[in-house]
Structure formats: structure tokens, C-alpha cells
Chain A
Amino acid sequence: MSELKQELKEKIIEQLNLEDVAVDEIQDNDPLFGEGLGLDSIDALELIVMLDKDYGIKLADPKEGRKIFESVQTMAAYIEENRSR
């Protein structure tokens, strides 16, 4: 799980072009949206694409994203449980 969290932090920084953020600045429970990393709605769509492309997870209901993308911790837990690759 901790390896997956590290991997997710790296992917989030790279794929969402967060050039001024370092991996060790993202805490597992930091909110990804709003006051945390400050991601926006386009970033949320990119994260949905990332789940599909890298972990074989298709979100049937976009509303699910709100809980899944709360933090790196919640993302990692969801991926562990649902990944097909």
C-alpha cells in the first residue's frame, strides 16, 4: 500500500503538471481538492482517465469520484480493492 501511495503521488505530480510540488510535500491524508493541492475539475477528469489507463478501473458513476479522490490514502485504498491491472 505504501508503494502504491508513493506511485500515486508521483503520477499526480507528473500527469497534472504540478511542477512546484514535491512528492514528500503531499501527505497521505491531504485533501486533493480545495485547500489541499488545489486541483480543479479538469484534474478530476484526468484522475478518472488515470484510474482507467493505469489500473483498469472504470468509474461508472462520476459521483463516486468525490469520495475516491478525497486524498492519496482514499485513492490507494480504492485502487487496491478494485484494480484489474
Chain B
Amino acid sequence: MNTDYFIEGYCHIKNNRVLLNGEPLFTEKKPDFASFIKSVYQHFETDYPKFFKMDKLSKLAFMAADVLLKNSGRPVNEEENMAVVLSNRASSLDTDRRYQESIDDPDNFYPSPAVFVYTLPNICIGEISIRHKLYSENSFFIFDKFNADHLWHYSKSLINHKKADAVLCGWVDVEGDDYDAFLYIVSPKGDDKHKIEEITRLYFTQ
């Protein structure tokens, strides 16, 4: 099936900035990721206390999805047939290391359950899905670098095979204080054609 789809909207969070459809919505220089993402949460009046329990990857994915979906004109708090397909380079390595540190010393061995639950990258999809009631297909892929080709094929296939009406997809990567999020919605409506070149162009346009 060769149906044309569109990129309905997209959001970047990188380099101390949050951009929606290429337009800067928020900029604040902070010394580390934790304080930056907290200021993003506060700026957008997110009001979701569970945010503070999340690991860095989930916080980043959650805020990018929240900004994008809230501004998409879609109904709030209604279940949607939207799949979520995310990808990154570092998997959940940042949290894996943090967890490992908590169990390194046999004489001070107190593994944290709250850290452990985030030692998988796809947990961030769960956080987004709970918040936005997205109960459709979901997948998380690990690549060396942003892979527009794979995301294009996979999201197109999901809609073509009627697994979802739309797909929230993209890249969300955190390691230490380095972070990079680019999420976009693929659907039958929008202005930007859903093409590999266009996805790549939008990813690098920040």
C-alpha cells in the first residue's frame, strides 16, 4: 500500500531549548540536565507529580511528548489509537550505571527499587502512554545514530496494517548531561509529507 502520510507536528528538546514545529517555545541555560528538565516541567505547568520519580530518559521523553501532544489539537484525556515508536543510542545506560553503583559495594548493598524499574529504555513509552492514554502498539529501538529510514518504514507499516491511526515516533537519548529529543506525529493529516528526507531534515533543523 502506498498511501501518503504526513508529519502532523514535531518537537525538539536539545541544547537548553524546547522547540515545537521548529519554533522555540522555551530556552533556559542550566548547568545540568536535571535542573533544565525541571525548569521545562515548571514552565509548561505540567502538573504531574509522578514526573519527579522518573529517570532522566523518561523525563525527557515525557516532556517532549507532552509538549507535542498538548499542542496537537487532539482531544485531551481521551483514549487514542496512537502507536509509540521510539529509538535512541544509549538505551537506559545512564540509569543502568546508577543502579550498578547502588549494588557495587557488598558492604553497602541497598539496591533501589525505584531506580531498578527504569533500567529498560521502553519504560519511557509506558510513562507517555499512561499520561496520554495511548494503548496501541509500541516499540523501542536502539541504533548507533538517528535512523529516519527505519522509523519511516515502521510507522508507515503500523498505519498501513491498521495497527494504529497515528504514530508518535522519534529519538530520545540521554547520557549524563547530554540529551537529545526529537519526537513527531505521523498521521493521515498535516503539511509536511512523511518522507525519509523530510524526517532527516526536520531532525537536523534545530
Contact = CB atoms under 8 A, between A and B. Distances in A.
Q: Do A and B truly interact?
A: yes
A17 B110 contact: no
Contacts of B49: 18-20, 38
Interface residues on A, range: 10 to 19
A13 B113 CA distance: 16
A46 interface: yes
Given A16-B53, A18-B49, A46 B114 contact: yes
B112 interface: yes
A52 interface: yes
Contact of B113 (A17, A20, A46, A53): A46
Contacts of A20: 49, 52
A19 B110 contact: no
Contacts of B113: 42, 45-46, 49
Interface string A5-43: 000000000001111100000000000000000100011
B110 A42 contact: no
Interface of B is mostly: helix
A20 B47 CA distance: 10
Contact of B114 (A42, A52, A53): A42
A20 B53 CA distance: 12
Contacts of A53: 110
A46 to B, nearest CB: 5
A49 B113 CA distance: 8
A57 to B, nearest CB: 13
A42 B117 contact: yes
A17 B53 contact: yes
Contact of A52 (B53, B110, B117): B110
A20 to B, nearest CB: 5
Interface of B: 49, 52-53, 110-114, 117
Q: Which 9 A-B pairs have the closest CB atoms?
A: A45-B113, A17-B52, A19-B52, A53-B110, A17-B53, A46-B114, A42-B113, A42-B114, A49-B110
Given A17-B52, A18-B52, A45-B113, 4 more contacts: A17-B53, A42-B113, A43-B114, A53-B110
